Structure 1
Amino acid sequence: MVTEGNHEIETIPLIGSTPFKPYNARYHMPYEESTSPSNLFYSFDVGGGAVHVLMLGSYTDFDSSSDQFKWLQADLAKLDRSKTKWLFALIHAPWYNSNKAHQGDGEDMRKAMEETLYAARVDAVFAGHVHAYERFAPVYNSKKNQCGPLHITIGDGGNREGLANKYINPQPSISLFREASFGHGQLQVANGTHALWSWHRNDDGEAVVVDNVWITSLLSNPACHKKN
């Protein structure tokens, strides 16, 4: 299951082309099933509906008047949170980033959509774009917030551009772990209240878990039952 990144825009200077034409031709995602009007954003369920995943588009319109924003609100409104215990979102350009690469690339989208995800009690937001790994504390409006989603940048899968190895110092208090290495992540949902996130660095010659954290669902936190 994929969502578009900046390299999928596919525009050619002077010649011109239709943005996302190759992407849409190669990757037909199940957007119709989630009543999305576009292949660039959609949602799907895992585990019989216990997990709901939002695949959001960083490179299509996302302001309050956009099709994506209206679809997102409608999609969240349909959820039965007595059955859907976990809610995750995927984007390309991270909303929080202490790497010097791609600073601010996701800021406009954050301003447009963060409040909606926070009110819906999204448990974690996963991003790419920055070719490194970084895990943040639960955060909302640039501050630690126990009812905000965990933000994780996992743009370290490998690329021809090399690693983004320059970070802003001192490390912001909301940034808990960061490393410029190639790797991959794994999310294991154990039950309705706990999930294990782990990040594996790929250049050790053997399987090494470098960072991991148990995530407690926001629905199971009494302090987050009110929209504070």
Structure 2
Amino acid sequence: MKDKKFRVLIIDDEANVRSLLRMHIEKDEFIVDEAEESLLALTMVQQNHYDAILLDWVMPDLDGRAFCRQIREVKQTPLLLLSAKSGVDDRIAGFQAGVDDFVSKPFSPREVLLRIKAIVRRFTFLHHSDYQISDTKFIHFPQLTIDLNAYKVIANGISISLTLKEFQILLYLARNHDIVFTREELFTQIWQHSPQGDCRTIDTHIKRIREKLLVVSPLAADMLRTKWGIGYSLKL
């Protein structure tokens, strides 16, 4: 990650929080921009490329949920949520809105930095053609194609837009098709840490993937199977 200057946007109405995060993130050679208002941040995201966005869930002008949904209409930039609300329902609400990871306030700046580096690394690894996931550039099924280099999913000849986590879940199931995975197993594989009560977010992500597939290909959507009481699989 040292070969390129990655750019991060911090969105928080508290200047001391932004200053603390900036100090630690810039030490790792990231470029850091700040916004104290969500509406200003929306304009900044539309006009610039960011490799990751850190946002506070509670903002005076536009809350984190509304911000995430608006961003997800135009960009798939990895989103890291900072919130004092750390209950399971709050985390699920964040994931439903499109965030990729969650850090509770008060937070450790070192943990935030590590999480930023992790989601940027995974997104870059999946999104750019000069990062090879495997020797095979495509995974083909009768109604579904996953383009590993272009970070693209094509169903019935039509490209669908998935978030980073949605793409990772579908890719993992595709690479291990016909195997049923529990929510805990999927969460651990995709988020790279123990669930800690967050496993219901897997249900939300699977639902969103299925809904997006269903719009263009009911057959592709039907491949994503639920094994009631156990978990999920991609069935050929």
Query: TM-score normalized by structure 2?
Result: 0.32
Query: TM-score normalized by structure 1?
Result: 0.32
User: 1 or 2, which has the higher strand percentage?
Assistant: 1
User: 1 or 2, which has the higher helix percentage?
Assistant: 2
